[in-house]
């Protein structure tokens, strides 16, 4: 008997040693420590990369939400301020990466963001504006080897939300202040996966304060820059419920309202459709969750906190305000609008539902809603990581053009139809520009 026990113990010890040998931790320090450099030479570790058509800067955070080197951030901000002071202004695109990524030169998100910036800078769509990308880096990947990275779900999600509230919010507020100095300036903020969770944590209270103030004084609520976009965000619907409730109240607002936040999620995203609910269900075993009721427009709506906790904000169908699907056979209903090869279905205008089920009914929305919840099919965004494709880039660029028009009445001839701004025309134009660049490659 003792010999059997010894064999089992040896087997377990051997397995432990094998795991220890095959599983490694990633660095917890900054990746970008070198001074700004021209990338015609080498800039793999520079915190500002200088390219022909754009610059790419990196702001990195510790797991507790502290910047590794505030002086580098101040240098980045100083450059942006300098570009913003020029007559043509500056275009700043902020990207917050998600789980299993970091700011290393070999990271797929770094490479993809660099490629998108190069396309935007090469497409002649920004005028004379200087283009600056800001990559928000954090330890999204903490372990690797033997599949260990997938065991870090809960820890990385928690870290992302803390960094957003403790560190990223101040960076966003500073960039928004610079952007607001001149109408020609552009600021777009995008977060993906747990980076979407981080971004929401950073802007949640800012947007809520803006919306409450706007409702109280009867004026339109200005966006943060030209808008905030969450792409396949990995954060539960419960975290945005308060913002959604305030968003619905803008239906009564007389002043035309700009869109403050765009939540875009694909049905092809298995990570948020399948794996996120599993991870959240395990975490929820220790939570006290209740059911509750609300009345909107004199109708009863019932909610389950458990469903809100295990469903991401982009996959919670009751939030949806619109959907993009491939336009097969040119079939459209009265609530569909053409969008190139796709069509946009407006749930806020679609009043075709004949019955009201308090448990499943989609929440009321209107053209005035400052928060947009957009569902796409796999033809538009293939999977969880397919957020750098030309369709998404064209859509985000159109968001910027729409915001510029709403805020300062800037109307490019490329986005004009019949004297009015046309999102579809904008999207078609930008898709054409990116396609032309693809053909030249």
Residue 151 lies in a domain: yes
Residue 152 lies in a domain: yes
CA distance 431 to 441: 16
pLDDT of residue 150: 63
CA 34, distance to chain mean position in Å, is 28
pLDDT of residue 73: 98
What's the per-residue H, E or C state across the chain?
CHHHHHHHHHHHHHHHHHHHHHCEECCCCCCCCECCEECCCCCCCECEEECCCCEEEEEEECCCCCECCHHHHHHHHHHHHHHHHCCCCEEEEEEECCCCCCCCCCCHHHHHHHHHHHHHHHCCCCCCCEEEEEEEECCCCCEECCCHHHHHHHHHHHHHHHHHHHHHHHHHHHHHHHHCCCCCCEEEEEEECHHHHHHHHHHHHHHHHHHHHHHHHCCCCCCCCCCEEEECCCCEHHHHHHHHHHHHHHHHCCCCCCCCEEEEEECCCHHHHHHHHHHHHHHHHHCCCCEEEEEECCEEEEEEHHHHHHCECCCCHHHCCEEEEECHHHCCCCCEEEECCEEEEECCCCCCCCCCCCCCCCCCCCCCCCEEEEEECCCCCCCCCCCCCHHHHHHHHHHHHHHHHHHHCCCCHHHEECCEECHHHHHHHHHHHHHHHHHHC
| Most confident listed range (141-155, 232-246, 247-261) | 232-246
Q: What is the value of pTM for the model shown?
A: 0.92
pLDDT of residue 8: 45
CA distance 391 to 404: 20
**Higher pLDDT pick, 354 / 97:** 97
pLDDT of residue 14: 46
Q: Facing residues of 239 across strands?
A: none
Mean per-residue pLDDT of the chain: 91
Q: Binning pLDDT at 50, 70 and 90, where does residue 441 land? A: low
Which is it for the CA torsion 248, 251, 252, 257, positive or negative? positive
Among the residue ranges 15-19, 193-197, 199-203, 304-308, the one predicted with the least confidence is 15-19
pLDDT of residue 331: 78
Number of domains observed in the structure of the chain = 1
List pLDDT tens digits, range 28-81: 899 999 999 999 988 999 999 999 999 999 999 999 999 999 999 999 999 999
List pLDDT tens digits, range 393-410: 999 999 999 999 888 888
Cβ(303)–Cβ(293) below 8 Å: yes
Residue 16 has pLDDT above 50, yes or no: no
Among the residue ranges 130-134, 358-362, 436-440, the one predicted with the least confidence is 436-440
List pLDDT tens digits, range 259-283: 999 999 999 999 999 999 999 999 9
Residue 290 has pLDDT above 60, yes or no: yes
Residues 6 or more apart from 264 whose CB is under 8 A from it? 229, 230, 231, 232, 314, 374, 376, 381, 392, 395
Q: Binning pLDDT at 50, 70 and 90, where does residue 322 land? A: very high
Instruction: Give percent of the chain with pLDDT exceeding 90.
Output: 80
Residue 402 lies in a domain: yes
pLDDT of residue 15: 38
Residue 15 lies in a domain: no
For residue 187, the tally of other CB atoms under 10 A from its CB is 28
Q: Binning pLDDT at 50, 70 and 90, where does residue 1 land? A: very low
Residue 61 lies in a domain: yes
Residue 209 lies in a domain: yes
**Higher pLDDT pick, 334 / 59:** 59
Residue 20 has pLDDT above 60, yes or no: no
Query: What mean pLDDT do residues 226-247 have?
Result: 97
Residues in the chain: 441
Query: What mean pLDDT do residues 373-386 have?
Result: 98
Cβ(207)–Cβ(222) below 8 Å: no
pLDDT of residue 9: 46
Residue 98: which of 229, 264, 233 has the closest Cα? 233
Containing domain of residue 404, as a range?
26-440
Residue 201: which of 246, 170, 180 has the closest Cα? 170
């Amino acid at each position: 008997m003792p010999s059997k026990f010894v064999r089992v113990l040896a087997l377990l010890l051997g397995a432990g040693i094998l795991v220890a040998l095959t599983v490694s931790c990633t660095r917890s320090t900054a990746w970008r420590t070198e001074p700004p450099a021209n990338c015609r030479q080498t800039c793999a570790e520079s915190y500002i990369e200088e390219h022909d058509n754009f610059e790419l800067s990196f702001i990195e955070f510790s797991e507790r939400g502290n910047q590794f080197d505030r002086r580098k951030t101040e240098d980045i901000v100083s450059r942006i301020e300098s570009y913003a002071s020029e007559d043509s202004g500056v275009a700043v695109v902020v990207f917050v990466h998600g789980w299993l990524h970091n700011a290393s030169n070999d990271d797929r998100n770094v490479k993809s963001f660099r490629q998108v910036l190069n396309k935007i800078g090469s497409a002649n769509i920004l005028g004379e504006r200087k283009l600056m990308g800001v990559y928000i880096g954090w330890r999204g990947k903490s372990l690797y080897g033997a599949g260990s990275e997938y065991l870090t779900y809960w820890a990385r999600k928690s870290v992302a939300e803390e960094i957003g509230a403790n560190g990223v919010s101040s960076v966003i507020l500073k960039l928004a202040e610079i952007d607001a100095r001149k109408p020609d300036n552009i600021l777009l903020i995008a977060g993906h996966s747990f980076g979407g969770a981080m971004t929401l944590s950073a802007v949640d209270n800012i947007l809520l304060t803006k919306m409450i103030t706007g409702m109280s004084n009867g004026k339109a609520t200005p966006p943060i820059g030209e808008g905030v976009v969450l792409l396949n965000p990995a954060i539960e619907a419960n975290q945005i419920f308060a913002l959604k409730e305030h968003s619905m109240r803008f239906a009564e607002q007389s002043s035309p309202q700009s869109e403050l936040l765009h939540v875009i999620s694909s049905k092809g995203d298995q990570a948020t459709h399948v794996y996120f609910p599993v991870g959240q269900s395990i975490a929820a075993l220790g939570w006290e969750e209740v059911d509750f009721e609300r009345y909107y427009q004199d109708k009863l709506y019932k909610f389950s906190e458990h469903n809100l906790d295990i469903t991401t904000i982009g996959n919670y169908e009751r939030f949806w305000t619109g959907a993009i699907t491939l336009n097969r056979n040119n079939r459209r209903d009265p609530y569909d609008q053409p969008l190139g090869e796709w069509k946009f279905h407006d749930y806020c205008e679609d009043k075709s539902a004949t019955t009201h089920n308090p448990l499943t009914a989609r929440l009321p929305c209107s053209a005035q809603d400052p928060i947009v919840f957009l569902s796409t099919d796999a033809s538009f965004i293939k999977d969880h990581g397919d957020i750098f494709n030309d369709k998404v880039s064209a859509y985000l660029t159109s968001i910027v053009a729409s915001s510029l028009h709403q805020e300062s009445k800037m109307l490019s001839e490329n986005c004009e139809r019949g004297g009015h701004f046309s999102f579809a025309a904008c999207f078609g134009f930008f898709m054409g520009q990116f396609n032309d660049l693809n053909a030249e490659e």
